Amino acid sequence: MVLRSEILVNKNVLPTKEQALPGRETPMVLPEKHFFFKDTPLLGPFFQDVDFAIFGLGCFWGAERRFWQREGVVSTVVGYAGGFTPNPTYEEVCSGLTGHAEVVLVVYDKAKVSYEELLAMFWELHNPTQGMRQGNDIGTQYRSVIYATSPEQLDAALKSKDVYQAELLKAGLGEISTEIDQAPTVYFAEAYHQQYLAKNPEGYCGIGGTGVCMPASLAAN
Q: Annotated catalytic sites, by residue?
A: 59
- DSSP H helices, 34-180, are 60-68, 90-94, 115-125, 151-170
Sign of CA dihedral 56, 131, 187, 52: positive
Q: 133: which strand partners? A: 138
Antiparallel, parallel or unpaired: β 73-81 and 101-109: antiparallel
Which residues share a beta bridge with 109? 50
Nearest to 214 by CA among 114, 120, 117: 120
Q: Residue 122 and residue 211: Cα distance in Å, rounded?
A: 12
Total Cβ atoms within 10 A of residue 176: 18
